[in-house]
Homo-oligomer: A and B are copies of this chain.
Amino acid sequence: MPESVFLAACRREPTPHTPVWFMRQAGRYMPEYRAAKAEQSILELTRRPDLVAQISLQPVERLGVDAAIVFSDILVPFEPLDLGLSYAEGEGPTIRRPIRRPADVERLRPVDPGRDLAHVLEGVRRTKAALAQRFPAVPLIGFAGAPFTLASYAIEGGTARTFTTTKQFMYEHPEAWHDLMQLLATLAGRLLALQAAAGADALQLFDSWVGCLSPDDYREYVLPYTRHALALAGEAGVPLIHFGTGTATLLEAMAEAGGDVIGVDWRIPLDLAWERIGDRAIQGNLDPAALLAPREELGRRVREVLRRADRRPGHIFNLGHGILPGTPVANVQAVVAMVHQGA
């Protein structure tokens, strides 16, 4: 594969320009995604490797981003785990059989990701093949949900605001919590490694909701499991991105858990975050809401992120979280152009 600015930045090597990609770069905001998706739910899409490849390439073609990410969902392991996962049109996930008692952890069906998530891996393979043919210089990112974020969905039964049910489970049933996190960490780590074996050139672990925790809770209830997941993923030998939101006080601990690249959101200025994580690459950190701002305001914000990164090797431009549904495609294109031009 030809040299990639994205992979070079993951290794903190100097690059001719700052690489850029976007979380949820394939998604509802894009007309060609909506056309390909038709009436299917996200879960149905993830079972169609041909559509996965097609959708994953859309932003490469339309936006000229420096990396593709395989189209999937962090909750795909909930299907073989038998948690009763579904998505209603335009809604977040619903988990019909949430984990509420220790016995619920014991009843989880054992999952072999190579077998039970073979469709996801086939999606990676097809996407990589399509990229190799049409965009051979563009690397592919595989991903998985981190143990805490997966556990929070499994316990809350869907999208949450305060994560009280998750915390209560964690405090009341520390042994069952350990078993659940161990299981999810192994599953996430193996799923990541298998995606690399299927052709992914880098891997991202999404710990989207970990920012609801105090640093002490993170260290006690989360860090060992995230470390385990990243260690398993690391056996694949490709760069690892470790991402979370609201993590301003967790960054040192997250870096300790692992990741060649640490993903941060807009709540912390990029240069301050970089000081805190030390010798790692960094990914971020434009507020996704900025893509809804007038062009001048958007430009000002993109330049501010670039100014704080200061062309220091190891910056991957991205948002602090996924692209929002109503985002104008032209604004996303404009950001790619600005980042590539260095202003």
Contacts and interface: CB of A to CB of B under 8 A. Distances in A.
Interface in A214-254: 214-217, 246, 248-249
A297 B267 contact: no
A214 B248 contact: no
Given A162-B324, A164-B324, A248-B249, A172 B293 contact: yes
A268 B322 CA distance: 25
B249 A293 contact: no
Contact of A171 (B212, B297, B321): B297
B171 A292 contact: yes
A201 interface: no
A294 interface: yes
A82 interface: no
Interface string A291-330: 0111001000000100000000000000001001000000
A269 B292 contact: no
A293 B214 contact: no
A214 B162 contact: no
Interface string A270-298: 00100000000000000111101110010
A293 B171 contact: yes
A285 to B, nearest CB: 9
A324 B172 CA distance: 16
Nearest to A217: B287
Contacts of A213: 267
A289 B211 contact: no
Contacts of A159: 161
Contacts of A246: 211, 246, 267
Given A162-B289, A214-B267, A214-B287, 16 more contacts: A159-B161, A162-B321, A163-B289, A164-B289, A167-B293, A168-B289, A168-B292, A168-B293, A171-B294, A171-B297, A172-B294, A212-B267, A246-B246, A249-B267, A249-B269, A249-B272
14 contacts: A159-B161, A164-B324, A167-B289, A168-B292, A171-B292, A171-B293, A172-B293, A211-B246, A211-B267, A214-B267, A217-B287, A248-B248, A249-B267, A249-B269
Interface of A: 159, 161-164, 167-168, 171-172, 211-217, 246, 248-249, 266-269, 272, 287-290, 292-294, 297, 304, 321, 324
Chain A to chain B: the 9 pairs with minimum beta-carbon distance, closest first? A171-B293, A167-B289, A248-B248, A214-B266, A168-B292, A248-B249, A249-B268, A171-B297, A164-B289
